[in-house]
Structure 1
Amino acid sequence: MSSNNPPRSTHTVASRLTLWYALFYTLFCLVMLLAVTAVMNSNAVKRMDQYLSAEIDEFNAIYETDGIEGLAKEFRQEAEAYGAQKLFCRLLSPNREPRLTSNIAGWEGLDAELRAVAVPTVPLQPAFQMLYPAASPFNARMATLKTADGHLLQFGINLQSENRSRQKIQRFLIIGSVLFLGVSTLFSWVVAQRAMAGVKAVTRAVSFTRKDALDQTLPREKKGREIDDLVDAFNGMLARIQSLILEIKEVSDNVAHDLRSPITRMRGAAETTLMGPQEIEPYREMGSTILEECDRLTGIINITLEIAQAESGLLEIRRNPIDLYALLTDAAELFQPVAEQKNIRLDVRIAPAPLTLPGDQTRIQRVVANLLDNAIKYTPEGGEIVLAATADKQSVRFSISDAGPGIDPAETERIFERFYRGEQSRSSQGNGLGLSFARSIVVAHGGTLTVENNPDHGCTFTATLPLVPPETR
């Protein structure tokens, strides 16, 4: 038996954050350790070279003033002061033959090391060089100076004590880096756990949210702006879900109610015909009734689907130039006889000038027809309907004002919902889709459809359509 549930990750966000922090701290400690070691070694070499340069310059001054005798005395004093194992001093002839040497008995293989030393070419300018490998106990730094008469002065110092000092410092740095890495990783884990505590709290609350308790929102516990934003987003999602569920329930009830009536009529017509005399005329009447109700059902379904497509952005809008002046005047002429039957005055207040805009002419005509039909339906006999239109540089606006009973302020927005019928319209024919269809088409054109009660009586529906299609702005 297989499951469609995706496998759960075994790594938590907190563990991943801790791992990333640990990697970052490791790289940081490694870079800092290498940088500090490099700087420390460079400074040590500079200080040693400065010391060697000063000492060998002093040897050269003694050689120039006191000769080999004075230099030999200086060599002995240096060896006695620092120890023969710590340093060596030499004076070489111009052909590199030793003329004066300090005690070098403790320096194993020194002659072989010194044979590889380069001879300075510029007099009185010391050259520096390392002797022996760094791990050797004889590792040394030496300076070679060419005197004015061509002799070579060599002075070297064993670096063993300096190397041990640097190694101690490096070990201290490594131990400090490891401790820092451990403490920082632990701190990162604590911070990550605290940061995710709010998310865990939201997750627990979400897991206990029941479908029958969507009105119970999560409290803001002030665990950080991001967590508060997450709580607000979740509460907003719950509110939208609850609103959608209520809307679906209401739409379902309205659909069931509007579909039940024609189906009941068709069933009643069929039962009456089958129970009556078996004559052709009753069957014709039944067929006519069934066709009429089927057309009504088809119209309801088609309009519902068209509204759904428009609200989801899937409705195809053909944008061709529309002369709104001609469209509105033609619609007024079409509804004029219907208005006259109720003794209603249809007043058209549009300047005789082209009002051109891009749009789907057929659907805009249906919008105007729905609004005019709605106005005539609720305007009492002897009333007046005003059809007006204006334009500016950005949009075209047309309005239809009636003299009906007006709209309850609590129902102002709900009248545009699918299948919604206010208290004033319960007794009149209709399915509650006309205004919803009108707004969805206007919105699909990038416009707005609003309603407001008139100061005296009735209400005004105003549609605003842009002169530039929304996708080209």
Structure 2
Amino acid sequence: MMMTTVMTTTATTMTEHRRGVTARTRILAWILLLVTIAIVAIVAVTGRSLFSRADAQVAAELSHEADKFRAFASKPDPRTGTEFFAVREVLTSHLQHNLAEDSEMFFSIIDGVADRRSGGDPTVRLDQDSAFVRTAAAVTTPTTGTLTTDAGPVKYAVIPVSVEGDPATGQLVIAEFLAPEYDEAWSTIWIMSIVAIVSLLLAGVTGWFIAGRVLAPIRDVRTTAARITETDLGRRIDVVGNDDVAQLAVTFNGMLDRLETAFTGQRRFLDDAGHELRTPITVIRGHLDVMSDDPDDREQTMHLVNDELERMSRLVDDLIMLARSERPDFLMVARTDLTDLVIETFAKATALADRRWSIAETPEAFAIVDEQRLTQALLQLATNAVAHTDDGDAIALGGRVADDRLQLWVSDTGDGIAEGDHERIFQRFARGSAETRRHGTGLGLAIVARIAEAHSGHVRIDSTPGDGATFTLDLPLTSPKEQQ
């Protein structure tokens, strides 16, 4: 009988041990599965972000090189101090003065034949690729594209060049090799993957012991319950709380919250970038389309275009770094002539659409504000007004200073806004309940509100459905920095 009892006890102990190992393995497997999915998602999203950032940096470099050439071509020849009289002269002089980095290449095409190239030893000689040279030589307007080579993908820009009085045709080819940027991105991904694998192994070993400690109270409960019999009613189940498991869930949820915040910020960054670049591009295209041969008109138009290009460049730089509204240098305040601000913004806004544009009032004062941010906000409000009006409707811009407050507004005679939508439309991706005209992302008014808040102000709406709307930026005259 004693032997039978011992054997039964031993068998029960072994069964309990096997159950404990199985439960620990099952829990550890689920934990490792969840961690693996999270790590794979992190690596995948990070990799996509790195490649997208590499493409954006190369595109920005192409634009920068194109701007450098245009600036160079508009000045006298640095060698002679005279204007360029031949296409070959301007291209050759630019290549001599503009040195290429290891990951880029510049060369010129004269009358369909590759002529000169920048110094250095590029990984691929695109000027020796006859098919590419023929394609580039046929370009008559600035063109960008991607080319697949033995050294990896190459992004390029072709800028046609002509000089009055010279019958020759020419093109400047700017090539940026993506392989170095992609190699750096892959290196980061591999490092993250190795670290993730090592971390996963460490988590597995640690999790095995942690799972044992977490399951220990559960095993004690099960053992105690199994030993309770009708002859031993004095035993009680010592219920142990699951504080460790709860804390693990809280920690894991905190990690997911941080990841969601990071990914949401990235999506908002691209939406803001795509949305905010539309308005300045529309302004530039509108003024270039109506530009005449009159020198004064050309000078005024180029001034507006250059101003918009500078604003676009600053916007892109801000977005590449950190979320704009969270940065301490989001605003670049300076003493600003408010009258000039309203008039110049009005000149840019008139290119958005055919409306009855007018200036209702100008603020005859100076203020410490960020001129470019306020221009951006007013142009966005003008774009919003255009979207809610038809040809022939009236849109007015204005501003005034009263009681140490600056008020800048855009009013229209369009659809108007329901009172219940006055606060909601400033939220991200929100639109009016009766909105049928716009097809954008719904970020414009949210951006306007953030610019006003950065100036320690707010946006106010005065509107009656069917009788137009007025959006007013109500800001203090003092500098946001002085208020801190």
Task: Determine if the TM-score, normalized by the shorter chain, exceeds 0.5.
Answer: no
The bucket for the TM-score relative to the shorter chain is: 0.3 to 0.5
Question: Highest CA radius of gyration, 1 or 2?
Answer: 1
